[in-house]
């Protein structure tokens, strides 16, 4: 059995990262993206380039991961504001309740 090429390893790592992001498994996605980044650094240090035939797939995965990360960021941002809105609502309620006494 032939060992996968570095480009195939990179595609595999980004595919796993993309799937993990979609599933909400941020720890796994982080590990896969870290592995992909490490592989890119090693390839660059070794002067190895990714074959042109693999670039389209890598760009697609890159964009898919970027979209997924943006979505996660928006969800986390919305969740943080939700907590802030709840806190403000409770403070307003308590202030109004205390004024009535």
pLDDT band at 13 (very low <50, low <70, confident <90, very high): very high
Residues 6+ apart with CB under 8 A from 22: 68
Q: Which tens digits make up the pLDDT trace of 39-64?
A: 988 888 888 888 888 888 888 888 88
Given this model, what pLDDT does residue 100 score?
A: 64
Could you write out the DSSP letters of every residue in 30-77? HHHHHHHHHHHHHHHHHT----HHHHHHHHHHHHHHHHHHHHHHHHHH
What secondary structure letter does DSSP report for 3? P
Give me the count of residues in the chain.
Answer: 101
Q: Which tens digits make up the pLDDT trace of 83-100?
A: 777 778 778 877 887 776
Given this model, what pLDDT does residue 61 score?
A: 86
Q: What is the mean pLDDT of the chain?
A: 85
């Amino acid at each position: 059995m032939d060992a996968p090429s570095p480009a195939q390893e990179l595609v595999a790592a980004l595919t796993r990262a993309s799937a993990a992001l979609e599933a909400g498994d941020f720890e796994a996605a982080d590990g896969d993206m870290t592995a992909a980044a490490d592989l890119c650094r090693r390839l660059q240090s070794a002067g190895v380039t990714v074959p042109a035939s693999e670039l389209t797939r890598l760009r697609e995965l890159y964009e898919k991961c970027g979209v997924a990360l943006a979505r996660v960021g928006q969800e986390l941002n919305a969740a943080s504001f939700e907590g802030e809105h709840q806190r403000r609502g409770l403070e307003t309620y308590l202030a109004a309740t205390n004024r009535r006494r």
